[in-house]
Structure 1
């Protein structure tokens, strides 16, 4: 009878560990991406020039603001 409790406890600990690990990893990645955004203004300017567009500072600022708003959500 007692080995049922041991198995149940091991399964519960495993599920709790996986859930806790997922949320810690998610929080860490969100913080990392907020501190180190994947695209900066220079990369965006280069990308727009490669696509054949002449990037103005206003357009770059708009796109950066839109990307930052998307990251905040």
Structure 2
């Protein structure tokens, strides 16, 4: 009986440790592939397209991107 409990607790701890490192690796990989977009990045992209970004336009783009992200997350 005591050995069964000890093996169960040990398996739980090993699973938690492995799960933590697997999740950490996955999130690092995800953010390398899909970096979060900042207002500075949007300014640079607009400048490359020949547009002069105003603060109002940047705010509109950021809010629309946040709304789209929330919409995608709610579908999951």
TM-score normalised according to structure 2 size: 0.52
Shift of 1:39: 1.3
Give the count of matched residue pairs.
46
What do you get for the CA RMSD once the two structures are aligned? 2.2
Counterpart position of 1:39: 37
- What is the rounded CA distance, in whole Å, between the counterparts of 1:14 and 1:28 in structure 2? 21
Change beyond 3 A, Cα 1:36–1:10? same
Counterpart position of 1:63: none
What runs of 5+ residues in structure 2 fail to find an aligned partner? 47-52, 57-76
Moved runs in structure 1, 4+ residues, more than 2 A?
48-51
